[in-house]
Amino acid sequence: MRKIKVFAPATVANVACGYDIMGFAVDKPGDEVLAELTNETGVVISKITGDGRKLPLEPEKNTAGVAVQSFLNRIRADKGVRLEINKMMPLGSGLGSSAASAVAAVYAVNELFGKPLSKDELLPFTVEAESVACGSGHADNVAPALYGGFVIIKDYHPLKVISIPAPELYCAVLHPDVIIRTEDARSILRMDVQLKDVVTQCSNVAGLVSGLFLKDYELIRDSLHDVIVVPHRSKLIPGFFKAVEAAREAGALGASISGSGPSIFALCKTSQIAKDSGEAMKGIYQSMDIDCQLYISPINPDGPKIIE
């Protein structure tokens, strides 16, 4: 095989209370990467579509390029790779756009070389790529994009990721047309956190993880709250609290900021509730004259998928 095309899914990082330690993958949107073996060593990114010419073609500045170059170094490849990246989701949206490209690229190239590495071995390349894209090597987008489903980052040094089970869940993701850079959304966070807030946050994380394991929707509903990050980041997202309330009123188990925003996700028991919650959130932004995109999707259980 000399050529392959892979899709990798968008992801919702943090899942309300799990800042930097929790994320899940959705079926759509996502990015596609076409990878082709070349006789010259190294990575060439020949084309990027869907990015409005905002992303760099230089591999060392591009998340997919960084991940693939690290992979090639690790396997001491005597061939190189040409990449074409098709961005199928908004950039800077809080949907793990840079993660999806890195995961799709490195997964595709691993296949081209005959699968020398496991997903666990590919993960560090994608985390390194996140550092280039966002200035921080958080793993809560790349890990769910690579493994699918719900993932917990138990440790960063060394990296330890745990996939956890979940009941049937659907997600509405509303992306309002507001630009937030992950770096900025991280730099506004406070370092001095109150102990009482830490206690509340820990109990929500414990409740959410237990709720997912126990398939207890009410426990999930009770736990989808954040008291440390959202109070600061919500200031960057007009209409945020109204949208969350509208989603809950439409039946969502809970709603919060997707990753570093501005997207807002609502987790729901059924596909119909996800549609209703999504439409309710959309209505809030329409009434504010802010353009938005809405995605309704089940949880993606598998991560990347070979499409050609």
Kindly tell me which of 116 and 231 has the beta carbon lying closer to ligand HSE.
231
From the CB of 95, what's the least distance to ligand HSE, in Å? 8
Cβ–Cβ < 8 Å for 23, 12: yes
Q: Does 138 help bind ligand HSE (rule: CB under 6 A)?
A: yes
Kindly tell me which of 119 and 233 has the beta carbon lying closer to ligand HSE.
233
Q: Does 259 help bind ligand HSE (rule: CB under 6 A)?
A: yes
Q: Does 126 help bind ligand HSE (rule: CB under 6 A)?
A: no
Active site residue 270: no
Q: What are phi and psi of 87, to 5 degrees?
A: -80, 120
Please give the Cα distance from 106 to 98 (Å, whole number): 12
Among the residue ranges 12-20, 30-38, 69-77, 277-285, the one whose residues contact ligand HSE (CB under 6 A): 12-20
Which has the closest alpha carbon to 110: 215, 193, 4? 4
Q: Does 140 help bind ligand HSE (rule: CB under 6 A)?
A: yes
From the CB of 184, what's the least distance to ligand HSE, in Å? 10
Active-site pick, 32, 41, 130, 279: 130
Active-site pick, 11, 63, 126, 182: 182
Active site residue 49: no
CA atoms within 13 A on the CB side of 164: 21
Chain centre distance of CA 42? 27
**Residue from 110, 182, 204, 234 binding ligand HSE (CB under 6 A):** 182
From the CB of 131, what's the least distance to ligand HSE, in Å? 12
**Residue from 5, 20, 84, 200 binding ligand HSE (CB under 6 A):** 20
- Most distant CA atoms of the chain, gap in Å: 59
**Residue from 79, 186, 269, 275 binding ligand HSE (CB under 6 A):** 186
Tokens of 6: 């892979």
Q: Does 13 help bind ligand HSE (rule: CB under 6 A)?
A: yes
Which residue's beta carbon is nearest to the bound ligand HSE?
A: 259
Q: Does 260 help bind ligand HSE (rule: CB under 6 A)?
A: yes
Compute how many residues bind ligand HSE; rule: CB under 6 A.
Answer: 14
Sites of contact with ligand HSE (CB under 6 A): 13-14, 19-20, 94, 96, 138, 140-141, 182, 185-186, 259-260
Q: Which residues are catalytic?
A: 130, 182
